[in-house]
Amino acid sequence: MKPKVIIIRGPGTNCELETKNAFEYVGANVSLIHVNNLLSGEERIDDYDILVLPGGFSYGDDISAGKILSVKIKKLFSDFGKFINSNRPLLGICNGFQVLVKSGFIPENKNSRQTVTLATNNCGHFICAHVELQVNKKSACIFTKGLPEKISLPIAHGEGKFVASNRVLSDIKNKNLDALTYIRNPNGSAGNIAGLCNEKGNCFGLMPHPERNFLVYQSLCQRKSGETREVGWRMFKNAVDYVK
């Protein structure tokens, strides 16, 4: 049986179709569900095997990126917590990462408070570029398993600068929660952090877009081996294989 994926959408999300296509390509059944359908009880995330918060600019990024959607997600906090605690994969891409951070899901803490943020890039404007990333091989992150030590993914964000206190940053580093780091930091992120997971490794948020570097023709690298798949394919496949 194919794993069931729920991609939560709302006003301003704009990467849900690419993410849906990616999960379908690696063998999942995917549903695009508006957050309001979850709030009304019409849909339940407990009915799914994988949960995704896609990229985009939910609610126009009013107030700050991902903040309004995070307020709505907070109303589903117990459902999200149950999902994560049941070891099912939860992925937040770009705006989805911002939502996870501002909802208090990552980094984990006993009071489920927001302890870090993603702020305006140091350059002061939106960045759209391919970046080189270091994969933390000590991380428990299920999405990055089997990836090379160095990978390339595109970014597209105006508020991607990871901000954390020295204490929180030290805890993240000591526990190897920094699953992905920038090799050349494009936005001023503390600790060069590009992606962050929980201690179990099943909840993962990242600013780069794996759905945009899914097949080789989307990559800046020239492949000569005949391989057609890229880094993004492995990330999505890891989640599906983990559920199976």
Question: Could you state, in order of their start, the residue ranges of all structural domains in the chain?
Answer: 4-243
List the catalytic residue out of 43, 159, 211, 230: 211
Could you give the CA distance from residue 126 to residue 123 in angstroms, rounded to a whole number?
Answer: 8
Which CATH homologous superfamily contains domain 4-243? Class I glutamine amidotransferase (GATase) domain (3.40.50.880)
CA distances from 39 to 8, 17, 82, 203 (A): 11, 22, 16, 21
d(CA 180, CA 109): 20
Give the integer Cα–Cα distance in Å for 97 and 88: 17
Along the 244 residues of the chain, how does pLDDT read in single tens digits? 899 999 999 999 999 999 999 999 999 999 999 999 999 999 999 999 999 999 999 999 999 999 999 999 999 999 999 999 999 999 999 999 999 999 999 998 888 899 999 999 999 999 999 999 999 999 999 999 999 999 999 999 999 999 999 999 999 999 999 999 999 999 999 999 999 999 999 999 999 999 999 887 677 655 555 555 688 999 999 999 999 9
Q: Across the strands, what pairs with 5?
A: 30, 50
Query: Is position 125 annotated as part of the catalytic site?
Result: no
209 is catalytic: yes
Catalytic-labelled residue, pool 94, 141, 197, 203: 94
Residue whose entry in the numeric block shows the structure tokens 């117990």: 78
Q: Is 211 a catalytic residue?
A: yes
| Strand ranges across the sheet with 29-34 | 29-34, 4-9, 50-53, 90-93, 203-206, 193-197, 180-182, 127-135, 150-157
Which candidate in 141, 203, 209, 230 is catalytic? 209
